[in-house]
Amino acid sequence: MLDRSYKIVARVVVNVMPKAEILDPQGKAVVRALDLIGVEGVSDVRQGKRFELEVDESVTAADLEKIAEVLLANTVIEDYEVVGVEVAQ
């Protein structure tokens, strides 16, 4: 986890994807469009969202879960994952 001994800014990524059992018309549209640009071999595409958050050291893992669950994802139809990417002083 974050080292609390100095000022930190971290970039956190939250990925939000449609649940597997939910239809994804945007992804299906991409699959169909692949014919137009002559690419074969792509059997499925799912489209979701990627959020990049710049957070300071006061933001806890619980905060990030809350942000993802309440604000970024609709958990009825979407799954999310919180990924810490890089930490810079």
Residues lying near its own copies in the complex (CB under 8 A)? 9, 15-17, 27, 30, 33-34, 37, 39-59, 63, 66-67, 70-72
Are the C-beta atoms of 7 and 56 separated by less than 8 Å? yes
Q: How far apart are CA 41 and CA 64, in angstroms?
A: 37
Nearer to its own copies, 35 or 76 (CB): 35
CB count within 10 Å of CB 27 equals 15
* Residue closer to its own copies (CB basis): 57 or 84: 57
Shorter beta-carbon distance to its own copies: residue 54 or 76: 54
Question: H or E element: which one contains 86?
Answer: strand 78-88
- In the complex, least distance from residue 15 CB atom to its own copies, rounded to whole angstroms: 5
